Structure formats: structure tokens, C-alpha cells
Amino acid sequence: MTYPINQWIELNSFENYRTWKTPSGFLCGTYASSVLLAYWQDNLDAACLSAEIRKPQQFAPDVLVNSLRPLLQPLDLPTVPLQIAVGLNHYFRRYQVPYRARITTLGAWQRVTKRILAGEPVMIGLLKIFGSTYNNHWVVAHGFLETAEGQRFFKIHDNWGNVDKIIPAAWANGTISLTVQRDGSRENSSNA
């Protein structure tokens, strides 16, 4: 996979989701999942979310977040990659949306760069033990940069109000990306 060095590779702006902040009582995995799905609906495929839950370009997250919460954090425990993928896949089956969530537990740099180069955002889990100043946290990556010196960075929506936060890629652990089931175009492009 080739991409320019010392140059940001980015998706369309996440500015419309600036107010999508994780409130008390909710976990970051639910909010990051909501941002991921809303971006997909607004920029890639309007049919990825049920019209009962959200219409494209609707920038109030409440109905979407509240419909995902029981699936993603049924016990209000911290959200881990498998839990989020299972919850999202349950949502897709329930609403007969032809998508599935895909997880990786290692290789965040490879997954994120591949997906962003394909025009798709990726949820990434950040870990305190890897140096994350967010502690353990879920965010949505929508840009990346690799310097000539080999330093790697992600541009993220952090669901605390920052839509263009730059973080070291070394903080990332697991990823969640989406694949479309209706035809082979995105499904095949999502195989790493």
C-alpha cells in the first residue's frame, strides 16, 4: 500500500459531528459507533441506517445513540472491540441493513490506512498502556500521516468535542470497520 509521506490523507470534514459528545452515563464506544454510522450515512451510503433511527444529514444524535446503547453496552461495562462488533451486527440484522462490523485486535495502522485510502472512517480503540492521554477510549479515525522519519499519526473525532485531534498512531489497538453485504464491491475491498 503506497501513500504520500509527510502529507495528511483525510476524509471529508467531521465538523457536523462536533456536538456529538459522550455525556455522563454513556460510554465512548456507543458515541464513536454513532459517529461512524452517521458519517457513513451522510457520505457513503444513506441506506446504512434505518430511516426510523436517523435521516441523512440529521445532526442530533439522540435517537441513534439511544437505539445503539442497549446493543453496545447492555450492562454499562466498558466497550471492547468484540462487544461493539457484536452489537453493531445485531443492529444490522434487526433492521435488515446489509452491513457487518469487522474487528481487528492488532495492526491498527494497516487497517486505518487501508480504510481511509478507500474513503471510509474507522473506529479505533486507544489504550492507556500504549500512552494514550485519553486512557482507554474509542474514537473515529478520519486521517493519517506518516513522516519521513517514520512517525505515524491519526486525525480523529474524539467524541469529547474535538473533530480534528491529532494523536500518535502508537496509542491505537483494536479497530472497527464496516463492510457492505449487498454486492462484492465494498466487501471485497474490506478484506485485509
Q: Are 171 and 131 in contact (CB under 8 A)?
A: yes
3-state secondary structure 150-178: CCEEEEEECCCCCCCEEEEHHHEEEEEEE
Q: CA 32 to CA 187: how far, in whole Å?
A: 22
Q: CA 89 to CA 107: how far, in whole Å?
A: 22
3-state secondary structure of 4: coil
Q: CA 131 to CA 79: how far, in whole Å?
A: 19
Q: CA 127 to CA 181: how far, in whole Å?
A: 31
For the segment 10-28, what is each residue's pLDDT rounded down to a tens digit? 999 999 999 998 887 667 8
Higher pLDDT, 89 or 189: 89
For the segment 31-69, what is each residue's pLDDT rounded down to a tens digit? 999 999 999 999 999 999 988 899 999 888 889 998 998
pLDDT band at 76 (very low <50, low <70, confident <90, very high): low
pLDDT above 80: residue 192: no
Extended beta strands in the chain, E state: 9-10, 99-104, 122-126, 137-146, 152-157, 165-168, 172-180
pLDDT at residue 77, rounded to an integer: 66
Fold classification of 9-189 is Cathepsin B; Chain A (3.90.70)
Q: CA 189 to CA 184: how far, in whole Å?
A: 8
pTM listed for this prediction: 0.90
pLDDT at residue 106, rounded to an integer: 83
Q: How far apart are the first and last CA of the chain?
A: 11
